[in-house]
């Protein structure tokens, strides 16, 4: 400071006194850059100046607040990719390569690069300098090796600003050993973490809370408020650096295995939670950890010691994937995990989950051998609680295939073995089997027995506040249509639709209820409304890669076909297209609109 101000040191007088003497009575702005490497001396000096020189203002930059009296902290965030980041990249890229042109495709790629570089100015500067040898798309494709890609900078820059790694090295080397270890271990999280998660995953010898708060204060960890809970995250550049350090320390395997077990416990706790009164809270909580689940599943694929945990994690997520619209992703994970899965209970759970999702996606042929293997393996293990789940799924599949006797045997055995609340990886309540038995009875031509099964299923599901009750409500509505009780059908289907809307965001349940509401509209003589509802159901299924069961598809086509003939091809196509273009919310709103009084048309 004395040198920059041109102050000559006096013999026998501390240099700070010389600086204060020079500043006293002056109105001045002092800029002190990069205080983090001399935090305590900087804080002492600044405090002394501010106490004795009231007309002096100090602007200090540091990765960590100085904590001095009168300090006002302004956190400098990253550059916004679409604005300042883009502008900086283009300006520097044009200098590096005069031929650089910002086309619409290049603009999109630049924005993606800036986002993946976390809006860090130095990283953007180093990336822009590479356009003299690489296209923006090539730079983007190599960002996983960013510390290699950006290994040179301007010779005139400070050493710590010449490469991306040197910049992060500078901050890392200033950390105490415990903070370095925690920083390394936090790299296993993807998409962020909570304090509880960090305490569960990071080594027990670390006092996580104070160390984590120190990393936040030093701008190495970001913190956000997520639904009234603090959620922490690393910028991707810092996460990649920390992951390299963790690997170099030889500690990656242990931390990632703890992360996998934490994900497994969370998913296992959340599975029954999705079938209870707190299902929305659990859905949101699991949604927040999707990237962590993916990271854990990727690790389990290549880690022999983690294969069973990976299988159990994937099996426990099956209900979440179903409700959250992730059936395709879930099927892919389960298929990959099952390739190397050894025999045992974890494999049974994964086979059952995979079969369930394949049935939901309209592929019973692929599901059947998986479910049959699950049943066989569970019988070999002698685990009745384990056996109940694949038996239920197999029974549901056999209903679709028309094997009603086989379906009844499987479902009755599942119901007998299924003890609600049993300790198992996958939670599957007995009222699901009751619902499926109701379907069997309906196809057997026994509506009274079908209604009894569905009413019992609704009763048990309602006790748990489980949104699954929309399914038996829907089929009771179908039975009411068949009996000509359209008022009762309307009440049941409306309730089913409302429950389905609130149950999960995927829209599977909504699409299935709309099919029967379309049938109801046909029965009430409203062909245009029927075709809109049927079109909306088809659009929702198509977007979610789902299909109707063959028997349901044939029934729906017969009912809606009559509406199409009533309207004529042109009007029918228009109504169908209008429905198919509806969003989930638009379809629900339309279905819940007060309908006009039934016309004089003869109910179909």
Tell me, what's the pLDDT at 604? 40
pLDDT of 77:
80
Binned at pLDDT 50, 70 and 90, residue 168 comes out as confident
pLDDT band at 519 (very low <50, low <70, confident <90, very high): very high
State the greatest distance between any 2 C-alpha atoms of the chain, in Å, as a whole number. 111
Residues whose CB falls within 8 Å of the CB of residue 178, separated by 6 or more in sequence, listed in order: 206, 207, 211
CA distance 216 to 208: 12
User: 381, 355 in Cβ contact below 8 A?
Assistant: no
- Kindly report the average pLDDT of the chain as a whole number: 89
| Tens-place pLDDT, residues 104-152 | 999 999 999 999 888 888 788 888 888 888 899 999 998 887 877 776 6
Q: What would the two tokens of residue 281 be?
A: 């809270």
Q: Does the pLDDT at position 200 exceed 90?
A: yes
- State the DSSP string of 438-452: HHHHHHTT-HHHHHH
In Å, what is the CA distance from 565 to each residue of 82, 519, 561? 52, 14, 6
The angle subtended at Cα 28 by Cα 24 and Cα 32, nearest 5°, is: 105
pLDDT at 157: 47
Q: Which of 143-157, 205-219, 336-350 has the lowest mean pLDDT?
A: 143-157
How far apart CA 362 and CA 181 sit, in angstroms, is 48
For the cut 80, the answer to whether the pLDDT of residue 506 exceeds it is no
Question: What does the DSSP assignment read for 456-507?
Answer: HHHHHHHHTT-GGGHHHHHHHHHHHHHTT-HHHHHHHHHHHHHHHHHH-TT-
* Residues 42/62, Cβ–Cβ less than 8 Å: yes
Work out the end-to-end distance of the chain between its first and last CA atoms, rounded to an integer number of angstroms: 91
Do residues 296 and 310 lie in contact, with contact meaning Cβ atoms separated by under 8 Å?
yes
Mean pLDDT of 436-455: 96
3-state class percentages of the chain: helix first, strand second, coil last, to nearest 5: 70, 5, 25
- pLDDT tens column, 3-39: 888 887 777 788 888 888 898 989 999 999 888 878 8
Place of tokens 């990253």: 78
Inter-axis angle of helices 236-248 and 164-173, nearest 10: 70
Residue 28 three-state SS:
strand
Q: Are strands 229-233 and 222-226 parallel, antiparallel or unpaired?
A: antiparallel
pLDDT > 90: what percent of the chain?
Answer: 65
pTM for the whole structure: 0.82
């Amino acid at each position: 400071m004395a040198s920059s101000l041109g102050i000559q040191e006096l013999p026998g007088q501390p240099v700070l006194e010389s600086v204060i003497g020079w500043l006293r009575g002056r109105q001045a702005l002092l800029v002190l850059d990069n205080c983090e490497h001399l935090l305590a001396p900087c804080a002492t000096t600044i405090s002394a100046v501010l106490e004795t020189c009231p007309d002096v203002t100090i602007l200090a930059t540091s990765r960590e607040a100085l904590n001095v009296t009168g300090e006002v902290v302004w956190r400098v965030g990253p550059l916004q990719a679409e604005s300042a980041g883009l502008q900086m990249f283009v300006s520097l890229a044009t200098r590096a390569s005069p031929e650089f042109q910002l086309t619409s495709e290049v603009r999109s790629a630049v924005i993606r690069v800036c986002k993946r570089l976390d809006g860090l100015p130095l990283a953007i500067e180093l990336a822009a300098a590479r356009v003299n040898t690489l296209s923006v798309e090539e730079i983007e494709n190599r960002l996983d090796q960013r510390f290699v890609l950006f290994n040179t900078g301007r010779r005139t820059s400070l050493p710590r600003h010449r490469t991306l790694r040197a910049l992060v090295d500078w901050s890392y080397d200033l950390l105490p050993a415990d903070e370095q270890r925690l920083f390394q271990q936090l790299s296993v999280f993807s998409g962020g973490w909570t304090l509880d998660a960090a305490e569960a995953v990071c080594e027990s010898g670390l006092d996580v809370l104070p160390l984590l708060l120190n990393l936040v204060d030093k701008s190495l960890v970001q913190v956000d408020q997520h639904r009234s809970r603090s959620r922490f995250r690393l910028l991707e550049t810092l996460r990649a650096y920390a992951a390299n350090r963790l690997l170099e320390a030889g500690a990656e395997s242990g931390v990632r295995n703890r992360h996998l077990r934490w994900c497994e416990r969370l998913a296992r706790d959340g599975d029954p939670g999705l079938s209870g009164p707190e299902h929305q809270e659990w859905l949101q909580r699991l949604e927040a950890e999707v990237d962590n689940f993916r990271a854990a599943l990727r690790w389990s694929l290549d880690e022999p010691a983690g294969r069973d945990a990976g299988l159990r994690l994937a099996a426990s997520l099956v209900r979440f994937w179903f409700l959250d619209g992730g059936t395709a992703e879930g099927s892919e994970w389960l298929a990959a995990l099952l390739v190397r899965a050894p025999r045992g209970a974890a494999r049974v759970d994964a086979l059952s989950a995979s079969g369930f999702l394949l049935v939901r996606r309209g592929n019973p042929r692929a599901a059947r051998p998986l479910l049959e293997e699950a049943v066989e393996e569970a019988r070999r293990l002698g685990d009745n609680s384990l056996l109940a789940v694949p038996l239920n799924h197999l029974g549901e599949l056999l209903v679709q295939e028309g094997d009603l006797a086989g379906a009844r045997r499987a479902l009755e055995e599942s119901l007998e073995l299924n003890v609600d609340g049993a300790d198992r990886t996958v939670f599957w309540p007995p009222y699901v089997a009751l619902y499926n038995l109701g379907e069997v009875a309906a196809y057997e031509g026994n509506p009274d027995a079908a209604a009894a099964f569905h009413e019992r299923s609704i009763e048990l599901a309602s006790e748990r506040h489980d949104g699954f009750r929309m399914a038996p409500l829907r089929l009771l509505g179908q039975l009411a249509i068949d009996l000509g009780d359209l008022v009762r059908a309307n009440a049941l289907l409306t309730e089913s639709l409302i429950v389905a809307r609130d149950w999960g965001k995927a829209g599977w349940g909504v699409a299935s209820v709309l099919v029967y509401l379309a049938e109801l509209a046909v029965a009430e003589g409203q062909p245009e409304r029927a075709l809109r509802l049927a079109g909306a159901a088809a659009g929702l299924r198509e977007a979610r890669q789902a299909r109707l069961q063959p028997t349901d598809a044939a029934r729906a086509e017969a009912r809606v076909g009559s509406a199409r003939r009533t309207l004529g091809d042109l009007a029918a196509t228009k109504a169908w297209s209008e429905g198919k273009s509806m969003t989930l919310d638009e379809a629900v709103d339309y279905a819940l609109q007060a309908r006009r009084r039934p016309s004089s048309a003869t109910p179909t």
